[in-house]
Amino acid sequence: MLSRDEQTTPRPVVLGGHVGSSIDCPDWPIWGQRESDQLARVLDSGWWAFEGPAEAEFEQRFAGLQTAHHGLCVANGTVALQLALEALDIGVGDEVIVPGFTWQATAAAVVDVNAMPVLVDADPETYCPDQGGIEGAITPRTKAIIVVHLYDSLSDMDRILEFAARHHLHVVEDCAHSHGSQWNGRGVGSVGDIGTFSFQSSKTLTAGEGGFVTTNDESLFERLYSLRNCGRRRKGGGTSTTPAVQSGNYRMTEWQSAILLAQLERFEEQMETKQRNAAILDSALGRIPGIKPMRRDRQVTRRNLYAYVFRYVEEEWQGLSCRAFRKAMSEEMGLEFGAPYRPLNMSSLYRPQTKQRHHLSDQYWEALDPSNYALPVAEHAYRHEAVRVLHQNLLTDSQEIMKIPKAVEKLRRFLPDLLNWERTLPKGDRDTPPE
Ligand SMILES: Cc1ncc(COP(=O)(O)O)c(C=O)c1O
C-alpha cells in the first residue's frame, strides 16, 4: 500500500511523474550593456592588445581582489600554470607533486616543462590534495607542490605551507575554481609563491578564454612578466642585472580585459549569493540521510564556488548507485547533477605518453604513465560519491535553492521504486560519464 507521502507527492520524473522542479536561475555567462560599452571602447581606441589601459586596470583590480602585490594577464589557465613553473625554474630532473583529482591541465603543465608530475590522492572530505599523500610523495628531486582549490573547497594552506617550508619546496596554487576565495583573510593565489587563474567560459569570472598569475614576490613577478611576453623586460621593472629569459607570446587581448572589467562589476554580488545558497544547501542536505556536504574549514573566510559539490553515500540508499542518483536528480530538476573530474590515472585527456617530445628518456617515459598511480579516494568520488551542481545554478534565491534538498527528499521517499528503475537502465547509463 502507498504511504501518505507517496499518495500526495507526485512521482519522480524518472518514474513517470510529470512535475519536475527546475530552478529559476540564469544561463552562463551573464552579460549586458556594460560589456558592450567596454568592447566599443576598445574598438574605438584601436589599442586591441599589448598592455592597453583595460589590461592595466584589470590587472590592478584583480590582483587586489586576490590580495596579491602583483598580477599579470596571460592567455589561459593552462599557460598560467606553465609560466608559474618556468618562473620557479622547474624543468628536467625535477618532480612536482600534483593532485590526481583535477582538470588535466594541472599535471599536463608539469609535463610541458619537462618535469615529472607525481600524482597524489584527494582528501575524502574536501577532494583537495590529501596532506598525507603530499607528505608521502616527497623525494630528493621534489621541487614544488601544485595545490588545487577544487570546486567549492580550499586546500589546507596552513599545513601545506608549513610542510613546504620544512622541505624548501615552492607552492603554486591552481585557483581556476576559486576567484575571490580567501584563506584566513588572504586571497587565494597570494598565499603560496604563485597563483594561477583561468577565465575560460565555464569559470566564475570569464572572458571566454584568458588566464592570470599572481605573486607577492618582486623577482618572480619580473620573471613572469618576461615569460609571458617573449622574454622582454618590463619597462621600469627589474634591473640591468635581472637575468634575461627566453620565452614566447602568452599575452591576453584587450578585448578580454575589457569584458573582465565589466564582469568584475557583477562578481562580488554573485559570489555573495552563491555563498549564501551554499550555506543553505549545506544545512538542508546535511539533514538528509545518505547525503554529506563537504567539510567547511574555518580558515575559509570567503568562498567562491566553481561548483557546489556534495557526497552521496550509496550504502545509505540501499545501494542505489550514485550514477542513477545523478541521473534521477538531473531529470527531476532539468539541470545537471554531474560527476566530478575523472581522476588523472583514468582520464582520457591526460595521456602524456602520446607525444614523442615527452620521451626524454625511457625511464622518464615509463614513470609518466598515469596508470602507475592508485587514487582510491578520487576514484571512489568519481564513480560512487560526488555530485556536482554548476555554479550558475546557485545564482538564485533561497526559496528556489531549497528545491534541491526537496527533490533529494522526494527521491528518497521513492527509493524502492528507484531501485527497480535502476535495474531497467540500459548498460550505457551505468558506464562512466564522458569527459
Ligand atoms: C583546475 C583547473 N586548472 C587549470 C585549468 C586550465 O584553464 P584553461 O582552460 O583556462 O587553460 C582549468 C580549466 O578548466 C581547471 O579547471
153-163 residue pLDDT tens: 999 999 999 99
Grouped pLDDT means (10 residues each) for the chain, 435 residues: 61 89 94 98 98 98 98 98 98 98 98 98 98 98 98 98 98 98 98 98 98 97 96 82 87 98 98 98 98 97 97 98 97 96 97 96 97 98 98 97 97 98 79 64
CA of 117 to the centre of ligand 1 (A): 16
Read off the pTM.
0.96
- C-alpha–C-alpha distance, residues 48 and 83, integer Å: 23
CA of 28 to the centre of ligand 1 (A): 17
In the structure grid, which three cell numbers stand for residue 336, read together? 545537471
CA of 219 to the centre of ligand 1 (A): 25
CA of 339 to the centre of ligand 1 (A): 17
SS3 312: strand
Look at residue 235 in the predicted model and tell me its pLDDT. 87
Runs of H (alpha helix) within 310-432: 322-333, 362-368, 376-380, 398-401, 403-413, 415-424
Residue with cell 538564485: 396
DSSP classification of residue 181: -
Q: 394-421 pLDDT, tens per residue?
A: 999 999 999 999 999 999 999 999 999 9
Output the ligand 1 site: residues, CB below 6 A. 76-78, 102-103, 105-106, 148, 174, 176-177, 198, 200, 211
At residue 153's C-alpha, the angle toward residues 340 and 294, to 5°, is 75
Shortest-distance atom of ligand 1 to CA 209: 10
Shortest-distance atom of ligand 1 to CA 79: 11
CA of 152 to the centre of ligand 1 (A): 15
- Take atom 8 of ligand 1 and give the residue whose Cα is closest: 77
DSSP classification of residue 430: G
CA of 139 to the centre of ligand 1 (A): 27
Look at residue 426 in the predicted model and tell me its pLDDT. 80
End-to-end, the C-alpha distance of the chain in Å comes to: 43
| Torsion angle of the four alpha carbons 389, 201, 346, 118, in this order, in degrees rounded to the nearest 10 | -110
Look at residue 9 in the predicted model and tell me its pLDDT. 74
Look at residue 20 in the predicted model and tell me its pLDDT. 73
Shortest-distance atom of ligand 1 to CA 76: 10
Look at residue 8 in the predicted model and tell me its pLDDT. 67
Please confirm whether the linkage preceding 426 is cis (ω < 30° from 0): no
- C-alpha–C-alpha distance, residues 199 and 121, integer Å: 26
Query: How many beta carbons lie within 10 A of that of residue 125, not counting itself?
Result: 16
CA of 18 to the centre of ligand 1 (A): 38
Look at residue 144 in the predicted model and tell me its pLDDT. 98
- Take atom 10 of ligand 1 and give the residue whose Cα is closest: 77
- Take atom 5 of ligand 1 and give the residue whose Cα is closest: 77
SS3 265: helix
- Take atom 7 of ligand 1 and give the residue whose Cα is closest: 77
In the structure grid, which three cell numbers stand for residue 127, read together? 577532494
Strands 170-174 and 142-148, by their bridges, are parallel
SS3 176: coil
Q: Which residues contact 9 (CB under 8 A, 6 or more apart)?
A: 410, 413
Measured on CA atoms in the order 283, 289, 293, 294, is the torsion positive or negative?
Answer: positive
Look at residue 4 in the predicted model and tell me its pLDDT. 58
